[in-house]
């Protein structure tokens, strides 16, 4: 879960404090629905991921290959799994 | 003189541009009729307009965003409303026999009726959601949308070998945006005419004396569908503008009881006379609905755009690319970020200069009169080419 915590930290930085407290980034939190991501946020997360894990991680490219339901349902854990796959 | 039948959805943002084009055609001496939910269109059109009612279907206000909103606008509105209204639209087109059917891009029942009856038809795009190729970066999402259109074709029982995309007339596509925003990479039968402004009767009044000519003016308008989700954003914007009373006044398009205890330099009104107010504004804070964006820029007013859903993120990015404003996160921006965005745009003459360039380009595009002229040309061509519509039409009145 160390990797998940790192990814969650990057997500948390983009989401920022909501109502004065940092949001809970649970593994099941969906980016679009729960964390209210838009394309600008996705680009910001990618910048954070690339800084930490290098250019092999390209989250926007990964998302662009997904279907409608998969993007709507994309969770924080899915992002961590994707990063894990790319680092293998 | 020609006859035009407009097929319209029950969405305010689509009805106003349609009305503007219809008024321009009527001024030029043409006959205009309407097909749509009478409950929604009659108050805008007035008692004398010829309306073929489709009936109304409950359209639940949408509170989602992103791709969930794309999914729900197709699954819960465009597809069911098209299927529900198709018999009424076909009957209206068969009875009225227009020279041209003018079909709102998100009322594909009109395109089905036109094809079945062999009528010449034009698409009227009042949103940028399906203009150009905004889903180019999400090919599987684009396929999903195409699948919804195909589903409508099949359910209407049209022959598979004749399939074409119901969102795009092969004859003429009119869009209520301009090249300064949407670019110029469009086929020849596209007419990007800029904002289409309608004469709107019964405009609400406004306390004009309240406006202080020595201060700058900010209008905050988050749209007709967005009330349910805009509360947080509006309160953050109030907090952003609260310390700026020395330099500006702010008008919020919001029910006054939703924003109680405003400082004296801020004002909330449930409705405002938008087109009269915009020339007195220095900045518009908006969700990025196409009408608000284009009406602001048509007055040379730059924007802070906080997009929520549908075509709003596209419009926000186009405003930024044109240099006529900045984009902020609707779900994220707090008072500090919003104050920074507002003072940035007000303080940098480059944004206003860019907004003025867009205004000039819109003026050149011609608006409602250019749309009416394109439709008149299409009508003349179709009359010359096929005097008798070829379709298997129903009754005539």
The string of pLDDT tens digits covering residues B184-238 is: 999 999 999 999 988 877 789 999 999 999 999 999 998 765 556 788 899 999 9
Q: Are residues B119 and B215 in the same domain?
A: no
| pLDDT above 70: percentage of residues in chain B | 94
Of B65, B67, B332, the CB nearest to A68: B67
Strand partners, B267: B251
Q: Which two tokens stand for residue B111?
A: 């395109």
Of A16, A38, A72, the CB nearest to B71: A72
Q: Are residues B89 and B216 in the same domain?
A: no
The answer to whether position B393 is within a domain reads no
Per-window interface: B 321-360 vs A, CB < 8 A: 327, 329-332, 334
Enumerate the residues of chain A whose CB falls inside 8 A of the CB of residue B309.
none
Q: Is the pLDDT of residue B303 over 60?
A: yes
Q: Which two tokens stand for residue B146?
A: 């195409």
Q: CA-to-CA distance for B101 and B79, rounded, in angstroms?
A: 20
Q: Are residues B220 and B170 in the same domain?
A: no
Residue showing tokens 């104050």: B339
Q: What is the ipTM of this complex?
A: 0.91
Q: What pLDDT score does A21 carry?
A: 64
Question: For A66, which residue in chain B has the nearest alpha carbon?
Answer: B140
Per-window interface: A 21-80 vs B, CB < 8 A: 32-33, 36-41, 63-69, 71-72
The answer to whether position B394 is within a domain reads no
Q: What pLDDT score does B60 carry?
A: 64
- The answer to whether B147 contacts chain A (CB < 8 Å) is no
The answer to whether position B392 is within a domain reads no
Q: Are residues B319 and B378 in the same domain?
A: no
Q: Which two tokens stand for residue A6?
A: 């790192």
Q: Are residues B180 and B325 in the same domain?
A: no
Q: CA-to-CA distance for A65 and A61, rounded, in angstroms?
A: 7
Q: Do B67 and A71 touch (CB under 8 A)?
A: yes
Q: What pLDDT score does B223 carry?
A: 75
Q: Is the pLDDT of residue B250 over 50?
A: yes
Residue showing tokens 């596509």: B173
Domain map (residue ranges) of chain A: 2-87
Provide the residue range defining the domain that includes B254. Answer: 208-362
Strand partners, B5: B33, B101
Q: CA-to-CA distance for B79 and B74, rounded, in angstroms?
A: 6
What number is the average pLDDT over the span B82-91? 97
Q: Is the pLDDT of residue B242 over 80?
A: yes
Q: What pLDDT score does B333 carry?
A: 92
State how many domains chain B has: 2
Q: Is the pLDDT of residue A87 over 50?
A: yes
∠ CA B382-B53-B154, rounded to 5°: 65
pLDDT category of residue B65 using cuts at 50, 70 and 90: confident
Q: Is the pLDDT of residue B396 over 80?
A: no
Q: Which class for B213: exposed (0-12), middle (13-18), buried (19 or more C-beta within 10 A)?
A: exposed
Q: Do A68 and B331 touch (CB under 8 A)?
A: no
- CA–chain centroid gap for B274, Å, is 15
Q: CA-to-CA distance for B12 and B37, rounded, in angstroms?
A: 12
Q: What pLDDT score does B220 carry?
A: 97
Report the b/e string of B65-94 with b at 16+ CB within 10 A. bbbbbbbbbbeebbbebbbbbbebbbbbbb
Of B64, B68, B140, the CB nearest to A67: B140
Q: What pLDDT score does B391 carry?
A: 44
- CA–chain centroid gap for B232, Å, is 25
Q: Are residues B190 and B218 in the same domain?
A: no
Which alpha helices (DSSP H) does chain B contain, by range? 12-27, 38-45, 66-72, 79-96, 109-117, 139-155, 179-182, 231-241, 274-277, 290-298, 312-322, 335-347, 349-365, 367-385
- The answer to whether B78 contacts chain A (CB < 8 Å) is no
Enumerate the residues of chain B whose CB falls inside 8 A of the CB of residue A68.
67, 70-71, 140-141, 144
The answer to whether position B265 is within a domain reads yes
Enumerate the residues of chain B whose CB falls inside 8 A of the CB of residue A40.
327, 329
Residue with the larger pLDDT of the pair A41 and B385: A41
pLDDT category of residue B287 using cuts at 50, 70 and 90: very high
The dihedral built from the CA positions of residue B312, B314, B317 and B321, taken in this order, carries a sign that is negative
Q: What pLDDT score does B267 carry?
A: 97
Q: Is the pLDDT of residue A20 over 70?
A: no
Least confident of A46-50, B139-143, B180-184, B391-395: B391-395
Q: What pLDDT score does B386 carry?
A: 56
CB of B191 closer than 8 Å to CB of B175: yes
Q: Are residues B349 and B337 in the same domain?
A: yes
Tens digit of pLDDT for each residue in B112-137? Answer: 999 999 999 999 999 999 999 999 99
Q: A2-87 maps to which CATH number?
A: 1.10.1200
Q: Is B367 left (phi over 0), alpha (psi -120 to 50) or beta?
A: left
Enumerate the residues of chain A whose CB falls inside 8 A of the CB of residue B72.
none
Q: CA-to-CA distance for B161 and B158, rounded, in angstroms?
A: 9
CATH number, residue B94: 3.40.50.2000
The answer to whether position B94 is within a domain reads yes
Q: Are residues B348 and B376 in the same domain?
A: no
Q: Is the pLDDT of residue B394 over 90?
A: no
Tens digit of pLDDT for each residue in B49-60? Answer: 999 999 887 666
Of B64, B71, B313, the CB nearest to A68: B71
Torsion angle, CA of B292/B298/B302/B304, rounded to 10 degrees?
Answer: 10
Least confident of B98-107, B219-228, B257-266: B219-228
DSSP code, position B278: G
CB of A63 closer than 8 Å to CB of B135: no
Q: Are residues B36 and B144 in the same domain?
A: yes
Q: Are residues B273 and B335 in the same domain?
A: yes
Enumerate the residues of chain B whose CB falls inside 8 A of the CB of residue A43.
none
- Compute the nearest-CA separation of B31 from chain A (Å): 43
The answer to whether position B202 is within a domain reads no
Q: Do A64 and B139 touch (CB under 8 A)?
A: yes
pLDDT category of residue B62 using cuts at 50, 70 and 90: low
> Quick check: helix, strand or coil at residue B303?
strand
Q: What pLDDT score does B249 carry?
A: 98
Q: Are residues B8 and B20 in the same domain?
A: yes
B288-to-A42, B119, B178, B226 alpha-carbon distances in Å: 20, 35, 15, 11
Q: Which two tokens stand for residue B238?
A: 């109030």
Q: What pLDDT score does A39 carry?
A: 87
Average pLDDT of chain B, as a whole number: 92
Enumerate the residues of chain B whose CB falls inside 8 A of the CB of residue A36.
65-66, 330-332
Q: What pLDDT score does B397 carry?
A: 37
- CA–chain centroid gap for A45, Å, is 6
Q: Are residues B375 and B354 in the same domain?
A: no
A contact test, residue of B72, B239, B329, B337 with most A CBs within 10 A: B329
A contact test, residue of B63, B140, B287, B328 with most A CBs within 10 A: B140
The answer to whether position B264 is within a domain reads yes
- The answer to whether B65 contacts chain A (CB < 8 Å) is yes
Q: Do A66 and B144 touch (CB under 8 A)?
A: no
Q: What pLDDT score does B389 carry?
A: 46
The answer to whether position B395 is within a domain reads no
pLDDT category of residue B390 using cuts at 50, 70 and 90: very low
pLDDT category of residue B12 using cuts at 50, 70 and 90: confident
Q: Do B67 and A33 touch (CB under 8 A)?
A: no
Q: Is the pLDDT of residue A24 over 90?
A: no
């Amino acid at each position: 879960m160390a990797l998940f915590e790192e990814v969650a930290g990057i997500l948390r930085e983009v989401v920022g404090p909501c109502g004065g407290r940092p949001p809970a980034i649970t593994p099941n939190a969906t980016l679009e629905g729960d964390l209210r991501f838009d394309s600008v946020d996705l680009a910001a997360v990618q910048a954070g991921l690339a800084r930490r894990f290098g250019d092999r991680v390209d989250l926007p490219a990964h998302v662009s290959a997904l279907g409608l339901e998969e993007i709507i349902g994309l969770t924080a854990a899915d992002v961590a799994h994707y990063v894990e796959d790319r680092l293998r | 003189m020609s006859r035009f039948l407009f097929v319209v959805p029950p969405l305010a943002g689509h009805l106003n541009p349609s009305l503007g084009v219809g008024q321009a055609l009527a001024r030029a001496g043409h006959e205009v009729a309407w097909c749509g939910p009478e409950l929604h269109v009659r108050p805008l059109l007035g008692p004398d307009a010829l309306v073929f009612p489709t009936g109304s279907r409950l359209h639940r206000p949408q509170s989602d965003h992103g791709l969930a909103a794309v999914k729900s606008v197709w699954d819960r509105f465009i597809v069911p409303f098209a299927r529900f209204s198709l018999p009424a639209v076909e009957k209206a087109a068969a009875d009225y026999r227009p020279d041209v059917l003018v079909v709102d891009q998100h009322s594909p029942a009109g395109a089905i009726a036109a094809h079945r009856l062999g009528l010449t038809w034009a698409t009227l795009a009042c949103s940028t959601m399906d203009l150009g190729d905004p889903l180019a970066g999400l090919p599987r999402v684009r396929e999903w949308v195409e699948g919804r259109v195909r589903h409508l074709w099949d359910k209407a029982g049209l022959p598979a070998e004749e399939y074409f995309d119901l969102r795009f007339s092969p004859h003429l596509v009119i869009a209520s945006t301009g090249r300064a925003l949407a670019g110029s990479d469009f086929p020849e039968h596209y007419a990007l005419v800029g904002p289409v402004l309608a004469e709107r009767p019964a405009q609400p009044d406004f306390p004009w004396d309240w406006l202080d000519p020595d201060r700058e003016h900010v209008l905050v308008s988050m749209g007709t569908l967005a009330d349910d989700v805009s509360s947080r954003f509006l309160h953050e914007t109030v907090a952003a503008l609260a310390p700026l009373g020395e330099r500006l006044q702010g008008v919020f398009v919001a029910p006054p009881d939703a924003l109680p205890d405003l400082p004296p330099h801020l004002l909330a009104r449930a409705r405002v006379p938008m087109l009269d107010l915009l020339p007195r504004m220095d900045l518009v804070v908006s969700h990025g609905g196409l009408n608000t964006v284009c009406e602001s820029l048509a007055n040379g007013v730059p924007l802070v755009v906080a997009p929520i859903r549908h075509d709003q993120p596209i419009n926000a990015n186009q405003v930024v690319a044109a240099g006529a404003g900045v984009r902020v996160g609707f779900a994220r921006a707090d008072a500090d970020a919003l104050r920074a965005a507002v003072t940035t745009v007000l303080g940098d003459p480059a944004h206003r200069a860019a907004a003025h360039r867009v205004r000039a380009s819109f003026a050149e595009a011609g608006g409602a009169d250019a749309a009416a002229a394109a439709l008149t040309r299409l009508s003349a061509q179709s009359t010359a080419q096929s005097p008798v519509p070829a379709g298997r039409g129903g009754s005539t009145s």
